[in-house]
Structure 1
C-alpha cells in the first residue's frame, strides 16, 4: 500500500514516517509532489507548527487546493486536523474549509495549563471509524488549540471542557493527538485508518 505523507516543513514528519515503517506492507513516502500525493492509496497530513504560516506555505505550494481535491482516505494529525477545519483562532487563520468546525484557544478554568500536554483518554462516539476497544484508551497530546465538538466528531477528550479528539467527514479522518507517539494504541489507530 502506497502512503504519501505530505511534506510541508511540519515538525513531526519523521516520527510519522518511522511509525509507517513499522507497519507491514506499507510503502510510505514523505513528499510535496502533487502527482505522488494524488496517486497514493492513503495520504497523511501531519503537523506541528503554527496555523497561519503553515496555511501560507500550503498556498504557495498549491497544496491547499490539492488537499481539498483528494478522494482517497486522508488522515490529518494535530495541526493537520485543525487545518482541515474552516477557521482557527490561532492568528485569525482561514483554514482549508473541508470540515465546517472552528478551532479555539483553550481557556483554562480550573488551574489547567496551556498547552494541553501529555496522555489523555478517548471517549468514542457511536459509529466511529475506530476499533471499539480503543474507547477509554490513552493517547499523547500536545496542543493549545482545539476543535469544537460537532457533527463530525468521532471521539472526544476532556481538558478544560470536552473537545474533539478524532474527526471524520467523508474521506477525511483526523486526530488531535499524535498516534505516532501513542504506543500500541496509536499503532492501532493508524491501522484503523489504513483499513479504510
Structure 2
C-alpha cells in the first residue's frame, strides 16, 4: 500500500487519479502506523512552505518522515519542505535535501510564479529511467531549490537553473507535478512505484 500523507496541503485529487490510472493501491492518511507500514510514501504539496511545515509539525509528522527507510517522493511543496530551509516564510524545513529554497529573482519579462510546461535535463536516476533529456513536465511554483549535490534533474527558467528533481538515499523530490505531466509524469510515477 502507498501512503499519501494527508496534511491538507496537497493536490490530492490529481495525485489520487494518477495513482488510480497506474492501478496502485493507495490511502490518504496522517496515521503514523499506516505511514510506517506503507511500501512507498508520497508527500504532495501545493501552497506555502511555512504553512506546510506548520501543518506537518501539528500532526507530529516531521521526525516520522525523516525516519522513513522506504521510498518517499515529495512533489512541489512536498519536495521544498524536504529541503533544509525555505525563504518562503523564512522557515526551517525537514533537512533531508541539502538545499535552501529561494524565490525566483525579479527579471524583466519573467513571470512569477513559473506556471506551465518546461524541459527537464535529467541525470542518471532510477526515478527518471526512460525519460528523454529535454522532456516536458508541468510546473506551478514561485520558489525553487538551487542546484546541489542531491540534484538529479535540472530546469532553466529565465537566468535561473534550478533543481527539477532531487534524491538523497531513499528520498526523492520533484519540483514539477508528475501527476499533471502527461505520459512523462506517468512514467516517473511508475518508476517510483517500481523502486
TM-score, normalised to structure 1, is: 0.96
Q: Deviations over 1:105-135 (max 9, x none)?
A: 000324111000000001012x222124332
In the alignment, the residues of structure 1 paired with residue 111 and residue 47 of structure 2 have an alpha-carbon distance, to the nearest angstrom, of 19
CA root-mean-square deviation: 1.0
Contact 2:139/2:177 (8 A) holds in 1 = yes
1:121 maps to what in 2?
A: 119
User: Shift of the alpha carbon at 1:19?
Assistant: 0.6
Residue equivalent to 1:51:
49
Q: Which residue of 2 aligns with 1:32?
A: 30
Cα deviation code 1:75-124 (max 9, x no counterpart): 00000000000000001010001111110000032411100000000101
Residue 152 (structure 2) pairs with residue 154 (structure 1): yes
SS in 2 for 1:149: coil
1:134 and 1:166 map into 2 onto residues whose CA distance is 14
Extract structure 1 runs of 4+ deviating beyond 2 A: none
State the Cα deviation string for residues 153-177 of structure 1 (Å, max 9, x = none).
0000000211000110000001000
Q: 1:90 aligns with which of 88, 91, 96?
A: 88
Tell me which moved more, 8-17 or 135-144. Answer: 8-17
Which structure 1 residue ranges, 5 or more long, are not aligned? none
TM, length-normalised to structure 2: 0.96
**1:66: which partner in 2?**
64
Q: Secondary structure at the match of 1:148?
A: coil
Q: Which residue in 2 is equivalent to 1:4? A: 3
Q: Distance in 2 between matches of 1:164 and 1:110?
A: 22
CA distance in 1, matches of 2:133, 2:71: 22
SS at match of 1:85: coil
